[in-house]
Structure 1
Amino acid sequence: MNNALTIPLSPSLDSFDLYQQQVQAIPLLTEHEEMNLAKKLHEENDLNAARQLIMSHLRLVIKIARSYSGYGLNQADLVQEGNIGLMKAVKRFDPSRGVRLVSFAMYWIKAEIQEFVVRNWRLVKTATTKAQRKLFFNLRSMKKTLQPLKQEEIKEIAKELNVKESDVKEMEYRFNGNEIALDYQDEDNEDEVFRPISYLQDENADPVKQLISKESESNNLSALSNAIKSIDERSRYILESRWLNEEKSKTLHELADELGVSAERIRQIEQNALKKLKSLM
């Protein structure tokens, strides 16, 4: 197990295959070993015990991360975020509850990866509510075929996930990248008409409202610019690299390698900087 402890928790894209091979070589813990290590961590704050618990469950993170590979994000980034969730799970794991760490950690790993997907995948902009996020992550698995959903299937999915039928339709169109006829009508239900052409008219195009909106946007940009100038240089560089780079934003592990710190540290600096910007604005 000592050799396994040198494996980084933030795999890079160049060495991701090697990372996976190293993780697969780490022996799994028996239930007795796991409980003893968890007790040491829980009762004595034994950090070495925490590291062993984390390392022995890295393969679980890789397995879960693979199930999110359909969103076009780097697998190494997904694993990195999942590892953060695993560390949070290990920190909160209570051995007295009588459950294995694998069962407890799955929730934290999935939550961290899903949050990363939601932040970074452009098609998820419609998923703003909890129900819509559930739709986002379950629609593919709930489809029985690769064919477009029929009206009955749309109703069934909408009812099960507690979302609007229009949300199910829109999410499927976004997943498939389909273009929709401007005057589309559902053949299975003539009473229900989905007409994208109806949404082309801008009912808020009043010139006065437009002027107010532009002035408000200009003020916000000015406030943001002043706020960014007031934070420290490293935090400003991280925010600009992550969110304000028009060509290509940098990932957590790219910035970690560049600045010589861990990805988790980059994440902490980013979150603190965002909070400070919010308070300044």
Structure 2
Amino acid sequence: MSTALTIPLSLQAVGNLNQLVRAAHQAPYLTADEEHALALRLHQHNDLEAARQLVTSHLRHVIHVARGYNGYGLPLADLIQEGAIGLMKAVRRFDPNRGVRLVSFAVHWIRAEIHEYVLRNWSIVKIATTKAQRKLFFNLRQHKQRLGRVSEAQAQEIAHELNVLPQDVLDMDARLTDRPVSFDAEPDTDSSSPQAPALTVADQRLEPSQALEEEQWNAHQLRRLRQGLAGLDARSRDILEQRWLAEEKTGLKELGEKYGISAERIRQLESQALGRLTRTLQADAA
């Protein structure tokens, strides 16, 4: 979406988080007809003012979703900023003729951007390389808020629920527990104000819609990864697959023997390939 739309969403523009929250909650709600009309203007005429109104009227939903990730010890302002990026992507992709409200469509994109931000800022090796690990990472945080340190018996139960190995649960628990995490949230100036009914959403983690959202997210990420790997030469692609995507990581020495070059040269090729892949994925997400 145009850079012009990102400026009003920046904390630098509104001054601070409290002002952003107030501005978001002061933005008028859109009726279904108003939303449809604005979406048509954007869809048919690339009307950026219509896009701005759609984004501004839905920022309150971004804030609501972002607050659900406070337990990761990351700044709420940054979570909101990332969620706003997801909202803008959703507004650009929203089809007004599908007969659904924008908020139902946008929640996937808001959560996807926040998930990406959380994973980028957690120093856990290979945390997002498999669907099971990604699901375990986010779900275990919710379990830990109720249980604290996970015992072996609890690990068995969680592993059964999430379809992973008990040892995977214990390993992830150790990583989450050992990392210093601040649970201090930003002051909430509007906490005394009643929440709008639209923001009081029931936990839908066990709903079919949540399962579909997770499936679509993982399929989207897998497509992006495959496209990025397809843009690499065969040797670089094989090195990344053997070093990062295989169940058992191949050493630099073994790959050097395979290609008849030194282990240091394999390390250099790996670093270059990772850089190219990262730039490709970032360009696709922009």
| TM-score normalised by the chain length of structure 1 | 0.60
Partner of 2:187: none
Q: Classify the secondary structure of the residue corresponding to 1:128.
A: coil
By how many angstroms is 1:82 displaced? Answer: 0.9
1:191-226 C-alpha deviation (Å, 9 max, x unpaired): xxxxxxxxxxxxx9x9x87x98xx53466459969x
Q: Distance in 1 between matches of 2:135 and 2:36?
A: 33
Alignment CA distance shift 1:223-1:162 (3 Å): closer
In terms of mean alpha carbon deviation, does 56-65 or 115-124 score higher? 115-124
By how many angstroms is 1:122 displaced? Answer: 1.3
Matched, 1:134 2:135: yes
Q: Is the 8 A contact 1:7 1:19 kept in 2?
A: no
Partner of 2:59: 58
Matched, 1:35 2:36: yes
Where in structure 2 are there 5+ consecutive unaligned residues?
180-248
Q: Distance in 2 between matches of 1:85 and 1:74?
A: 17
Matched, 1:216 2:227: no
**Superposed counterparts of 1:49-88, under 5 Å:** 49-88=50-89
Partner of 1:11: 11
Q: Distance in 1 between matches of 2:158 and 2:174?
A: 15
Alignment CA distance shift 1:124-1:35 (3 Å): farther
Q: Name which one, 1 or 2, has greater alpha-carbon Rg.
A: 1
By how many angstroms is 1:86 displaced? Answer: 0.5
Q: Counterpart of 2:136 in structure 1: which amino acid?
A: L
Q: Distance in 1 between matches of 2:268 and 2:25?
A: 48
Q: Distance in 2 between matches of 1:96 and 1:222?
A: 47
Q: Is the 8 A contact 2:90 2:105 kept in 1?
A: yes
Q: Distance in 2 between matches of 1:45 and 1:223?
A: 41
Q: Distance in 2 between matches of 1:22 and 1:124?
A: 38
Superposition CA RMSD, Å:
3.8
1:132-152 C-alpha deviation (Å, 9 max, x unpaired): 111111113245833433444
Once superposed, which parts of structure 1, at least 4 consecutive aligned residues long, lie more than 4 Å away? 221-225
By how many angstroms is 1:55 displaced? Answer: 0.8
In terms of mean alpha carbon deviation, does 7-16 or 58-67 score higher? 7-16
| TM-score normalised by the chain length of structure 2 | 0.59
Partner of 1:271: 282
By how many angstroms is 1:269 displaced? Answer: 10
Partner of 1:169: 170
By how many angstroms is 1:10 displaced? Answer: 2.4
Q: Classify the secondary structure of the residue corresponding to 2:8.
A: coil
Alignment CA distance shift 1:125-1:17 (3 Å): farther
Partner of 2:224: none
In terms of mean alpha carbon deviation, does 144-153 or 119-128 score higher? 144-153
Partner of 1:93: 94
Alignment CA distance shift 1:57-1:174 (3 Å): same
Alignment CA distance shift 1:67-1:88 (3 Å): same
Q: Classify the secondary structure of the residue corresponding to 2:62.
A: helix
Q: Distance in 2 between matches of 1:22 and 1:39?
A: 25
Partner of 1:259: none
Alignment CA distance shift 1:80-1:144 (3 Å): closer
1:107-128 C-alpha deviation (Å, 9 max, x unpaired): 0000011011111211464443
Q: Counterpart of 1:271 in structure 2: which amino acid?
A: Q
